[in-house]
Amino acid sequence: MIQEAAASSQTMRRSESAEVVVEARNLSKVYRDFWGRSKKTALKPLDLDIRRGEIFGLLGPNGAGKTTTLKLLLGLIFPTSGEALVFGRPATDVSKNERIGYLPEESYLYKFLDAEETLDFYGRLFGMSPEERRRRAAALIEMVGLSRDRKRQLREYSKGMTRRIGVAQALINDPELVILDEPTSGLDPIGTREMKDLIIDLKSRGKTVIMCSHLLADVEDVCDRIAVLHQGELKELGRVEELLRVTGVTQIRATGLSPAATAELKAVLERHGAADIEIGNPRSTLEDLFLEVVRDTEARPGRRARRPAGASDATRTG
């Protein structure tokens, strides 16, 4: 039994290493002006492997080279040196795009088309049959919550709606690799939550996701592995939980503790020589609070939101 498990984990590891979806070898990019003089080194030589089924985050401040990396992987720009392979093919080979979905930074879509026409157009580019296009477009519009606005031209859409239809077009071909550039930019907290859920859902369906963002919370919530870029250079690369684990500090969480039990716990800890003991109620995030309020308002329209449980009486609403 143990032998079997070991064998299967070995196979898994081998298949994991064999299933590198994206490979960057010494990949670099220097932007030049018209006369060929170098203007900006956007990406210093980068080596990167992204494996099937993981959510990979590219992190960094503005101008760190995140979008440049994505564009190099997509073949939208050509590398100054090195090479990028996607599904084992050069990034400039268009046939790789059959299995890729890409959401650019600002959902660059045709403003004169409506949601249905947009998805129909992109579906045609994949050579999908009319029935398949219709089915897929309807499902995606439903998924991103634009059913009521599907006949409106995109020029009338708000930023969040444009983002949603952008996601829908990225998923039209049911891609194996989804590349998302700032997926949560322009979205309200609900949209952000839904986007993060969607990314996790994609992973659960075996897709590989590469996203870049400077919104750290988003990256932290969904990514398995991250790469931190700064000034075009790779500064950090690894699994999120490993990178964020604070060694030397122990955290205990519990519910239903009485004040006496808390004091006893503290005493036990002190007895064992623990220093900097901190016992109190954890803070929720503003995101959780906001989502709670919105859900409550939708459940009981016309009334002020009830504060979530655990809030002080002084601020409780009646």
Partner 1 sequence: MVLEEQIPQFTAWIGPALLRYAAAASISLLIAAILAWLVQAIANGPLAAGDRVYRGLLAGLADVSLPSPRRVWALARLAIQESLRRNVLVVLALFALIILFAGWFLDPASVDPGRLYIGFILSATNLLVCLVTLVLSVFSLPADIKSRTIQTVTTKPVRTSEIVLGRMLGFAAVGTCLLALMGLAGWAFVVRSVSHGHTLEAEDVFEATDGDGAPAGAEGRTSRDRGHRHRVILDAGGSGIAETTQGHRHQVSVSGTTATGEKTFAVGPAIGLLEARRPLRGTLRFLDRDGRPATKGISVGSEWAYRQYIEGGSAAAAIWTFEGVSPGDFSEGLPLEMTVRVFRTYKGDIEEGIHGTVQIRNPTSGLRSESLPIVAREFTIDSLLIPRRINTVLANGELQEVDLFDDLASDGRIEVWLQCLEPAQYYGVAQADFYLRAGDGSFALNYAKSCVGIWFCMLLVTALGVMFSTFLSGPVALLATIATLMIGQFREFIARLFESQVTGDATIVPGGGPIESLYRIVTQTSITMELDPTPAVSAMKLVDTILLAPMRIAAGIFPSLSSLGTSDFVAGGFDIPGDLLGAHACETLGYVLAFFVAGVFCLKAREVAS
Q: Which residues bind partner 1 (CB under 8 A)?
A: 31-32, 36, 71, 74-78, 92, 94-95, 97-98, 100, 102, 104, 106-110, 112-113, 117, 121-122, 124-127, 153, 166, 169, 173
Question: Residue 209 and residue 55: Cα distance in Å, rounded?
Answer: 5
Looking at the Cβ atoms of 67 and 184, the one nearer to partner 1 is 67
Nearer to partner 1, 130 or 238 (CB): 130
Nearer to partner 1, 97 or 231 (CB): 97
User: Mapping DSSP to helix (H, G, I), strand (E, B) and coil, where does residue 100 land?
Assistant: strand
Beta bridge partners of 213: 59
Residue 57: strand pairing partners: 211, 226
- Residue with Cβ nearer partner 1 (27 or 228): 27
Q: Which tokens go with 97?
A: 């795009």
Q: Which is nearer to partner 1, 117 or 233 (CB)?
A: 117
Structure tokens at 7: 């064998």
Minimum CB–partner distance for residue 196 and partner 1 (Å):
22
Please tell me the distance from the alpha carbon of residue 212 to that of residue 43, in angstroms, as a whole number: 15
CA distances from 71 to 84, 224, 230 (A): 10, 21, 17
> Least distance to partner 1 from the beta carbon of 140, Å?
15
The enclosing H or E element of 90 equals strand 89-90
Residue 315: CB atoms within 10 A of its CB come to 7
Tokens coding 204? 């659960």
Work out whether strand 208-213 and strand 55-59 pair parallel, antiparallel, or are unpaired. parallel
At its nearest, how many Å lie between partner 1 and the CB of residue 170? 8
Torsion angle, alpha carbons of 113, 114, 116, 120, to 10: 10
For partner 1, the closer of residues 32 and 295 by Cβ is 32
CB of 90 to partner 1, least distance (A): 10
Cβ at position 37, least distance to partner 1 in Å: 10
Contact 24, 18 (CB under 8 A): no
Q: In angstroms, give the least distance from the CB of 11 to partner 1.
A: 32
